[in-house]
Amino acid sequence: MHNISKRFGGTAALEGVSIELYPGEAHILAGENGAGKSTLIKILCGVYSEYAGRIVLENRPVKFSSPQDAARHGIAAIHQELSLIPAMSVSDNIFLGREKMKKNGTVDFSAQTIASQKILKRLGIDGVDVHRPVEEYPISIMQMIEIAKALSMNSRIIIMDEPTSALTEPEVNKLFETISALKLQGHAIIYITHKMEEIYKIGDRITVLRDGRFVAAAPIADMARNALIRNMVGRELNEQIQRRSKVCAEELFRVENLDIADPQGNRNLVNDVSFSARKGEILGIAGLQGSGASELLNGIFGAYGPVSKGSVFLNGNPFVVRSPGRSIEQGLALLTNDRKTTGLVLGMSIVENITLASLPQYSPVCWMRNSMEQKAALRYKQELNIKADELSREVSSLSGGNQQKVALAKWVGTKPLVLLLDEPTRGIDVASKHEIYELMNRWTAAGCAIILITSEMPELIALSDRIIVMHRGRISARLEGDRITQENILHAAMGQEREVA
């Protein structure tokens, strides 16, 4: 791609960007949210057909009129939001829209089954029944099915956008093995991630964008971490996470012997969990996928209705677990782990999203309410450094980092005493992460307690004053001080350590 430029109205999304891709390499496309990565990828995938510049594929100029046109030329993209149809079988998903047909015009399901099995075998994926619905498999297998779908189209270029955001460490390692195999087969991979360790583990070369412009390109081995961060953000940024709040001895929030029932079945999601959080404290919760950590926060917040057993106390008073609305009234807020489906209403404006959870604070008189909402949204826009020219913009038009700040602003606007944060930095750039760390320090310094879930182990260790570890819906360890180590957390998360007081 040579000298690519793209404008939306008067705004330049890309200005003279170039990137070169070679067979058998994993090419990292790096940059902060809003740097232009998504726009560049959408041009390559045929989503945007109007742009300046040129694309050359195997020494021939090409211009894709649609995603289907790009796919015919061997370009496939695997996005964070997978494009599979959950109720359909694995083989039907792999060949969706390109079904193998018999001479009589009916679908040749037998041929699709055989072809699907061959592709999965090529990827080294065992134990997948291609007749079963996709929804019966974990997210890691779904991603492999997406890759199989790309291979079924004879894709030479495969784009992966934050593919590990919902994967466990073993699943990430399996994905990296698959990428290495694809490279050996001559496929070119464009890999987008904000995770530094992944960049240096899987990448061969890297291109960095900033504010829609090309900044640098080099072999991975030639770009040190500090240089990469400087190229991405345009300034020096200390990677060290700073925890600066002073924890008060006064207990603010307590959970005793809590069971949380699965609203869809006859089992418990969480069993006999007890913990407390103090004013000004960040209490970390660690656990592998399926440990019950997210379910614990959702259950406390009332997302599943009343709890089946146990007690919750806030400021020494009984806390009624009934519904999210009742929890908000009592001083609890929950940032969920998926901002696009449960955290924000993407079709609504920034101001509407920011004030959505705190509407009772504003006047019932329409014109007065609108004015109050605008003032509140502007205050939080400034406080959280949300980058947007107009508060009337749809949230869907913002970068991931700014969307996350809007989601945080929505909950900070409720003036919570306890803030439950589930993956607050997932899928956002390094500068936005550090801004969120600073906000967490500021909120705890004001006396708020934060209960934090993050799959980023260095982040969890650096930010947490204490950590509880969960395994199969129960607390398997309680760690503080010098016992907070990656080794201790992983042992407990895998159920290899009994609970330690």
Phi-psi region of 275 (alpha: psi -120 to 50; beta: other; left: phi over 0): beta
Q: What is the DSSP string of 99-161?
A: --B-TTSSB-HHHHHHHHHHHHHHTT--S--TTSBGGGS-HHHHHHHHHHHHHHTT-SEEEEE
Where are the chain's structural domains? 2-233, 244-331+416-501, 346-415
Give the three-state DSSP class for 349: strand
Task: State which fold the 2-233 domain adopts.
Answer: Rossmann fold (3.40.50)
What is the fold, at CATH topology level, of the domain defined by 244-331+416-501? Rossmann fold (3.40.50)
The Cα-based distances of 155 to 76, 152, 254, 367 in angstroms read 6, 7, 53, 55
Same-fold call for 2-233 versus 244-331+416-501 = yes
Give pLDDT tens digits along the chain (501 positions): 999 999 988 778 999 999 999 999 999 999 987 789 989 999 999 999 999 999 999 999 999 999 999 999 999 998 877 789 999 999 999 999 889 999 999 999 999 999 999 999 888 888 899 999 999 888 778 888 988 998 898 899 999 988 887 777 787 888 899 899 999 999 999 999 988 889 999 999 999 999 899 999 999 999 998 899 889 888 766 666 777 667 788 999 999 999 999 888 788 999 999 999 999 999 999 998 789 999 999 999 999 999 989 999 999 999 999 999 999 999 999 999 988 888 999 999 999 999 999 988 876 766 667 888 999 999 999 999 998 889 999 999 888 888 999 999 999 999 999 999 999 998 788 888 888 999 999 999 999 999 999 988 889 999 999 999 999 999 999 999 999 998 899 889 988 754 444
375 vs 412: CA distance, rounded Å: 15
Gyration radius from the chain CA atoms: 24
Token pair 């998360």 is found at 493
Measured torsion, CA atoms of residues 491, 494, 496, 498, in degrees rounded to the nearest 10: 90
HSE at residue 392, side-chain half, CA atoms within 13 A, is 1
